Chains A and B, each alone.
Chain A
């Protein structure tokens, strides 16, 4: 089923990474923000050495769907964000 899909190029992958990191930075909750950043970096690093086009496309589309989820959730979380900031965000 994925045979008709073109393999993403390096720049597409990098711009997907950039969008994910930017969306991760939009979260108001410190914990979710840090987790999202960590998870995207770890996920991309883990799949760094893939060579099979179908696995690359599968990983790419999975990341894309995660990006959709993250964008939606960032908006929803910001609707009901608490005023109190996490203690990790207080600068010493």
Chain B
């Protein structure tokens, strides 16, 4: 108990929305309300973050053994890069492992481009943070 109050004391001094976070540390559930003060665009999942897209591109490149010069843009379709359905399933499993998410059956069958994969990942990561 003493250690918990010590950590909450350090949070109090460092972060701006302090009281909200202190209450949340006391409870076990964490809400995403601190995002309201920082980045309002968290609520709106319009485009995926560039780092996410970058990581997806890397995983795709490694799975399909593409040479370093080949272009992997967010709009490139997996089938255009030479992936068949088995490769797509492997890519989705690799993404699940990398980001620690769990993709549904129906969602994974609809993924055809890099951008779609990144958007789905963002949505699932956000849902995981909220849970």
B93 at the binding interface (Cβ < 8 Å):
yes
Specify which chain A residues have a CB less than 8 angstroms from the CB of B109 in the assembled complex.
Answer: 11, 14
Q: How many A-B residue pairs have CB under 8 A?
A: 26
- Nearest B-chain residue to A24, judged by Cβ: B93
Shortest distance in angstroms between A88's beta carbon and chain B's nearest beta carbon?
Answer: 15
- Nearest B-chain residue to A19, judged by Cβ: B105
What is the total number of residues of chain B having a CB less than 8 Å from a CB of chain A? 11
**Contact: A41 with B85, CB < 8 Å?**
no
- A45 to B83 Cα, complex, angstroms: 12
Interface residues of B in 66-88 (CB under 8 A from A): 84-86
**Contact: B86 with A18, CB < 8 Å?**
no
Select which of A17, A25, A48 is within 8 A of B89 by beta carbon. Answer: A17
Of the candidates A17, A18, A25, the one having the most CB atoms from chain B within 10 angstroms of its own CB is A18
- A22 to B105 Cα, complex, angstroms: 12
Specify which chain A residues have a CB less than 8 angstroms from the CB of B108 in the assembled complex.
Answer: 18
Interface of chain A: mostly helix, strand, loop or mixed: helix
Of the candidates A10, A21, A44, the one having the most CB atoms from chain B within 10 angstroms of its own CB is A21
Specify which chain B residues have a CB less than 8 angstroms from the CB of A14 in the assembled complex.
Answer: 85-86, 89, 109
Specify which chain A residues have a CB less than 8 angstroms from the CB of B84 in the assembled complex.
Answer: 48
A15 at the binding interface (Cβ < 8 Å):
yes
- A6 to B105 Cα, complex, angstroms: 21
Shortest distance in angstroms between B100's beta carbon and chain A's nearest beta carbon?
Answer: 12
- 7 CB-based A-B contacts, threshold 8 Å: A11-B109, A14-B109, A18-B89, A21-B90, A41-B86, A41-B90, A48-B84
| Complex A-B, nearest 7 residue pairs according to Cβ-Cβ distance, in ascending order | A21-B93, A17-B89, A14-B89, A15-B105, A44-B86, A18-B89, A14-B85
Given A14-B109, A15-B105, A45-B86, 6 more A-B residue pairs with CB atoms under 8 Å apart are A14-B85, A14-B89, A18-B92, A21-B90, A21-B93, A25-B93
Residues of B bordering A, CB below 8 Å: 84-86, 89-90, 92-93, 97, 105, 108-109
Residues of A bordering B, CB below 8 Å: 10-11, 14-15, 17-18, 21-22, 25, 41, 44-45, 48
